[in-house]
Amino acid sequence: MATAQRGKLNLDSAPSAQGLHIALVVSEWNNDITGGLRDGAVDTLIQIGIEPDHVTIRPVPGSFELIHGCKVAAESGQYDAVIAIGSVIRGETAHFEFVCSGVTQGIALLNATGNIPVIFCLLTDDNREQSIARSGGSMGNKGSEAAVAAVKMCQP
């Protein structure tokens, strides 16, 4: 969405988040990036009607831990949706591929087997500049997009 729009997300057609309870499971690794994604998601949820105290932030150490954090949140019965927020930036080893693949498969499994939507908001960028651009910079904010996706998935 933001990649195609190259700017601010249009919330005119977004459904209302009124009455929903949403958990944001946020990786602390690359926290300058994940913090921007988190803030974008929270701001968007508030703009489309969620009560601020209906948004819960659940930090986890890194992106791989998003899977367990999301599972715990999803199974708690307290939320209508969960958003997994992380950032993995390519390095010089295969670690990038292992983490990205593992998190992708883990979140997919939670969606296939769980009772509430778990929204995938994991940036998988080649460099920090790409991550900055997608966490509130020139390419928009993927956290905002994830917030809209979560609310859409909660609609009957």
Does an H or E element contain 150, and which? helix 142-153
Verify whether residue 68 is a known catalytic residue: no
- How far is C-alpha 37 from the chain's CA centre? 7
Q: Taking a C-beta distance cutoff of 8 angstroms, is the pair 37, 59 a contact?
A: no
Token pair for residue 32? 């300058």
Token pair for residue 36? 């921007």
Going by C-alpha positions, the residue among 145, 60, 79, 87 that lies closest to residue 118 is: 79
Q: Taking a C-beta distance cutoff of 8 angstroms, is the pair 25, 69 a contact?
A: yes
- The catalytic residue positions are 95
